[in-house]
């Protein structure tokens, strides 16, 4: 398992993250087995959000009930959560951020979050309010580091005018098949090619230039929660063929290859796994440091349907 220090933090952690969005119906024992399989594979980073679950803080509560960390253990893992999505609207107000973090800490049964992310851009936000909330949370020792999710470079810059803490993470949707973040730059300038349309104002290059760690969510989803491309030979025959071949070459399960496609990128991204199957955690985590060659990386890219002009 590859580990690295996230720039502008004192967090050293795995480049694979276990996401806990799908655990609400699992038993305590199943959650412990899932988390145990992650830790056995070398995963030290856990991703939550206040909104995950059937009610606010649902998944955080299930995690807190099932998993107990000793003080030493707590320092050896990274717990990240998010705030800002409410039922029917988004809310970056100071009051909501402060209340939600208190509820997250109670649900997770922990004294502090290592990282808090603003979940999706709230166009009605006042950056000064976000800044005041972050100052309060940091001064109280409730949150150690801050970041964003699904936000454009301009939105990050706007926050940075008021927020004094570094914004160290941007968590974004990225898989081999859903890769506008990467694919656009490869085909910039091509008339008439959908891939050439810039939909995020250059998040990838901005993040690299500003030492913001990108975290890839939905690494196995075809698109926006519409199923897994891995093993879908009807819709992705060529991609699955290349995945099979490379899994054989590197002696790993097929699930490791889509992960390796993300971790192989020099932007030093993290991959947020969403599986609740302990065997899938182990198989996927093996992609942490598979050294795909450039040629193999581009073969996967084109087999997924992206263009090299
Ligand atoms: N920031 C955001 O806006 C945002 C949005 C969505 C999610 N997230 C975070 O990202 C995490 C991952 O998202 P996600 O759950 O959509 O990611 P995902 O890992 O791409 O999708 C999970 C789904 O894929 C299936 N799957 C995973 N590996 C598999 C394998 N090897 N073989 C067959 N099926 C497999 C899982 O089924 P099994 O359980 O059966 O393996 C599950 O149904 C979430 O937990 C959450 O922490 C963030």
Per-residue pLDDT tens over the stretch 78-131: 999 999 999 999 999 999 999 999 999 999 999 999 999 999 999 999 999 999
pLDDT of residue 199: 92
- Does the C-beta of 171 come closer than 6 Å to ligand 1? yes
CB 74 within 8 Å of CB 60: no
pLDDT of residue 174: 98
Longest Cα–Cα distance in the chain: 57
Separation of CA 289 and ligand 1 centre (Å): 20
Helix/strand/coil for 196 = helix
State pTM to two decimals: 0.98
pLDDT of residue 309: 92
Structural domains for the chain: 3-303 (3.20.20.100)
CB 5 within 8 Å of CB 45: no
CA 84, 26, 38, 218 dihedral sign is negative
Separation of CA 219 and ligand 1 centre (Å): 7
- Does the C-beta of 25 come closer than 6 Å to ligand 1? no
Q: Ligand 1: which of 228, 254, 258, 270 to mutate, most ligand atoms within 8 Å of CB?
A: 228
Average pLDDT per 10 consecutive residues for the chain, totaling 309 residues: 98 98 98 98 98 97 96 95 97 98 98 98 98 98 98 98 98 98 95 93 97 98 94 98 98 98 98 98 98 98 97
- Does the C-beta of 218 come closer than 6 Å to ligand 1? yes
pLDDT of residue 14: 98
Per-residue pLDDT tens over the stretch 48-76: 999 999 999 999 999 999 999 999 999 99
């Amino acid at each position: 398992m590859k580990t690295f220090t996230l720039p502008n933090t004192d967090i050293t952690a795995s480049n694979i993250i276990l996401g806990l969005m799908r655990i609400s119906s699992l038993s305590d024992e199943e959650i412990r087995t899932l988390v145990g399989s992650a830790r056995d594979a070398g995963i030290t980073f856990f991703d939550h959000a206040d909104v995950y679950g059937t009610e606010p803080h649902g998944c955080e509560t299930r995690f807190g009930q099932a998993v107990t960390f000793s003080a030493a253990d707590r320092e050896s893992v990274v717990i990240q959560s998010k705030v800002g999505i409410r039922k029917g609207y988004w809310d970056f107000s100071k009051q909501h951020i402060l209340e939600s973090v208190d509820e997250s800490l109670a649900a997770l049964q922990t004294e502090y979050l290592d990282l808090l992310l603003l979940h999706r851009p709230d166009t009605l936000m006042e950056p000064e309010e976000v800044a005041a909330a972050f100052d309060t949370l940091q001064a109280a020792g409730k949150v150690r580091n801050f970041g964003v999710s699904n936000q454009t470079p301009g939105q990050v810059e706007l926050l940075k005018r008021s927020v004094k803490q570094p914004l160290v993470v941007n968590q974004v949707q990225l898989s081999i098949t859903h890769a506008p973040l990467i694919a656009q730059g490869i085909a910039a300038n091509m008339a008439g090619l959908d891939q050439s349309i810039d939909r995020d104002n250059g998040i990838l290059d901005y993040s690299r230039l500003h030492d913001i760690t990108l975290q890839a969510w939905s690494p196995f989803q075809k698109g926006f929660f519409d199923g897994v491309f891995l093993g879908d030979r009807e819709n992705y025959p060529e991609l699955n063929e290349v995945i099979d071949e490379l899994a054989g070459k590197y002696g790993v399960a097929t699930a490791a290859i889509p992960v390796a496609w993300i971790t192989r990128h020099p932007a030093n991204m993290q991959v947020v796994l969403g599986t609740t199957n302990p065997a899938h955690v182990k198989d996927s985590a093996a992609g942490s440091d598979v050294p795909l060659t450039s040629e193999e990386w581009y073969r996967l890219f084109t087999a997924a349907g992206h263009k090299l002009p």
